[in-house]
Amino acid sequence: MEAVKLKKRFINIISCMLLYSGAVMFQNIFESNEILPTYNSGGYTFNFNPGNTNGITIQGEVLELGSQKPIHMSMVSVECSQLSTDIKGNFKFDFPFVENDSVYVQIRALGYKTIDTKYFKFKEGESLNLKIYLEIDNRPINDCGI
């Protein structure tokens, strides 16, 4: 009898832990106005809006973490597509909608640490707006003797 009570209690504890972890994992799924941390000191904010009626749009701007100045010529990658930001640090991708597809965005700039966002899942016609904050990379660039 004691073993049955212990088993039920264990199952209840595990169920609560799974429920809590699911709530934490999806708490900022639709919007984040606070800078989400990444593996370095940079980060990003995002929100979804109705947008492209024929597909999905991923757009935003890339800024320096400390000064908030735009970083032009940053390389922004989504899947196999890549482009560089304009003079104001802006970028924009338009893609056809693919059911159950999710993508992440990678941002690189010379002299800054690279950022990878989390995976984003889209509904048809949605627009993802990102504000990316890159941290200056103070590591020296090695001379390869070329």
Residue 32 and residue 55: Cα distance in Å, rounded? 23
Q: Could you give the percent of the chain with pLDDT greater than 90?
A: 40
Q: Residue 33 has what pLDDT? A: 61
Is 117 among the domain residues? yes
Between the alpha carbon of residue 136 and those of residues 40, 44, 69, 114, the distances in Å are 10, 15, 12, 10
Q: Residue 77 has what pLDDT? A: 96
Q: Is the pLDDT of residue 27 over 70?
A: no
Question: Could you tell me the residue range of the domain that residue 101 belongs to?
Answer: 31-134
Which residue reads 């597509």 in tokens?
A: 81
Determine the average pLDDT of the residues in 29-33: 55
Q: 133: Cβ–Cβ under 8 A, 6 or more apart, which residues? A: 35, 42, 43, 44, 63, 64, 65
Is 141 among the domain residues? no
Is 112 among the domain residues? yes
- Could you tell me which of 115, 114, 63, 112 has the C-alpha nearest to residue 89? 63
Is 126 among the domain residues? yes
- CB of 58 closer than 8 Å to CB of 130: yes
| pLDDT tens, position by position, 42-83 | 888 888 888 766 788 999 999 999 899 999 999 999 989 999
Is 19 among the domain residues? no
Q: Tell me, what CATH number does 128's domain have?
A: 2.60.40.1120
More reliable by pLDDT, 23 or 90: 90
**CA contacts within 13 A on the Cβ side of 43:** 10
Phi, psi values for residue 3, rounded to 5°: -65, -35
Query: How many domains does the structure of the chain reveal?
Result: 1
Mean pLDDT of the chain: 79
| pLDDT tens, position by position, 101-115 | 889 999 999 999 999
Strand partners, 96: 55
Determine the average pLDDT of the residues in 73-94: 95
Is 2 among the domain residues? no
- Report residue 129's pLDDT band, with 50, 70 and 90 as the boundaries: very high
Q: Residue 89 has what pLDDT? A: 96
Is 11 among the domain residues? no
Is 90 among the domain residues? yes
